[in-house]
Structure 1
Amino acid sequence: MLIIGYGTLGRAVIRRVSAKTGASVDVYNRTQSVIDADPACNYVPPEKFHHYTKVLVVLPAPAYEDFFRRWAGSFREDTCFFYCATKIMRAEMNTYVKNKQSATPCKLAGHAEILRVKGEGAFSFEHEERRLQFDRWSDGAFNTVIAKEDHVLKGNQVATEEHLRALLTVEQQLRQEGVPKSLIESVNASIPGGIAQAHNNGTHGHFAEEIMKKWQGDDHDG
């Protein structure tokens, strides 16, 4: 598998695959020097693209068109592109691949920085065969699930919007209460992730449990 890109998601994948397999990862990036400086990477130049039949594209969505316009013809006809950009959908990918090349969604349900730091989040595939191929290549370094790519898009969109709305509301209310900026930053950095973890595990603390009971009571009264 060849990785295309070295952004936040790319670095997260590289670090975890290299740590899990104990081997360096083949990577192409427009700036070769950053790849050469990373011991977890082997730089692969465009003239060697034809050696790979499976390619993991971790570029940001705006970079897809330029990359495929320049380099799609350098890959073999039987190449399968695993594309990760949440906003890029199959219909758009089909305009980028050439001839008999194929594309399969490999979307992260989660946040790239949290994947890099904590390994949390799951890569989603629409077909079991592709999920197993990714698992074998990464040696099980990631959680993987089967889901439609539009469901991942909706999940990431709603979660991002609602969590951002909540963070901004917290900041506004605490500023109005005269709470220092440093404390606001600490609260916002720690509590949302902790609440999410506890909610998934069913381990809410007393404070959160009391709030949940109050909301449930309010819903019942309504």
Structure 2
Amino acid sequence: MLIIGYGTLARAIIQRVSDKTNTTIDVYNRTKSVVDVDPACNYVPPEKFHRYANVLVALPASAYEGFFRRWAGSFPEDTCFFYCATKIMQTEMRTYVKNKQSATPCKLAGHAEILRVMGEGAFAFENEENRVQFDRWSDGAFQTVSAKEEHVLEGNRVATEESLRALVTIEEKLQQAGVPQLVIESVNASIPGGIAQAHKNDTHGHFAKDILKKWQGDDYDG
């Protein structure tokens, strides 16, 4: 598997697969120098693209068209591209691949930085064979699920929008209460993430439990 890109998601994948498998990962990035200084990476130049029939594209959505227009023809005609950009859909990918090349969604349901730091998040696949192939390559370094790419897009969109809304609301309310900016920044950086983890693991503290009880009344059994 060749990874295209060296952004946050790519680095998260590289780091976790390298740690899990105790091997270096083949990577192409437009800026070679940043890959060269990462001991977990082997830089692969475009003249060697013909060696790879499985390619994981971890570029931002805005970079897809430029990459595929320039390099798709350099890969074998049976190459399978695992594409990760949340906004890129199968219909768009069909305009990028060449000949008998194929493309399969490999979408992260979650946040790339949280995946890198904590391992939280799941890669979603529509094709079970591709999911198993990814699991085998990564040696089970990530949680994987079967889901439509449209559902991942909606999940990520809603979670991002509502999280941003909550953070802005917190900031505005605390500013109105005269809370110092450093305190605001500290609670915004820490508490939402901690609440998310506690909600997942059902380990809420008394503040959160009291709030849930107030919201849910007799239905809450925490």
Pick the TM interval, shorter chain. Answer: over 0.9
Structure 2: runs of 5+ lacking an equivalent:
none
Corresponding position of 1:19: 19
Matching residue's letter, 1:47? E
Structure 1 residues 27-46: Cα deviation after superposition (integer angstroms, max 9, x where no partner): 00001111111111001011
Corresponding position of 2:98: 98
Matching residue's letter, 1:158? V
Structure 1 residues 78-135: Cα deviation after superposition (integer angstroms, max 9, x where no partner): 1000000000000000000001000000000000011111111011001111111001
Distance across 1 between alignment mates of 2:201 and 2:29? 39
Corresponding position of 1:52: 52
Task: Give 3-state SS (helix, strand or coil) of 1:64's partner.
Answer: helix
Distance across 1 between alignment mates of 2:34 and 2:196? 35
Corresponding position of 1:80: 80
How far apart are 1:215 and its partner, in Å? 1.1
How far apart are 1:218 and its partner, in Å? 10
Distance across 2 between alignment mates of 1:38 and 1:201? 34
Structure-to-structure mapping, 1:24-173, within 5 angstroms: 24-173=24-173
Does residue 203 of structure 2 align to residue 214 of structure 1? no
Corresponding position of 1:185: 185
Percent identical among aligned pairs is 79
Task: Give 3-state SS (helix, strand or coil) of 1:47's partner.
Answer: helix
Structure 1: runs of 5+ lacking an equivalent:
none
Distance across 2 between alignment mates of 1:204 and 1:44? 46
How far apart are 1:217 and its partner, in Å? 3.3
Figure out how many residues of one structure are paired with residues of the other and give that number.
Answer: 220
Task: Give 3-state SS (helix, strand or coil) of 2:38's partner.
Answer: coil
Distance across 1 between alignment mates of 2:154 and 2:214? 29
How far apart are 1:199 and its partner, in Å? 1.1
Give the TM-score of the pair, scaled to structure 2: 0.97
Give the TM-score of the pair, scaled to structure 1: 0.97
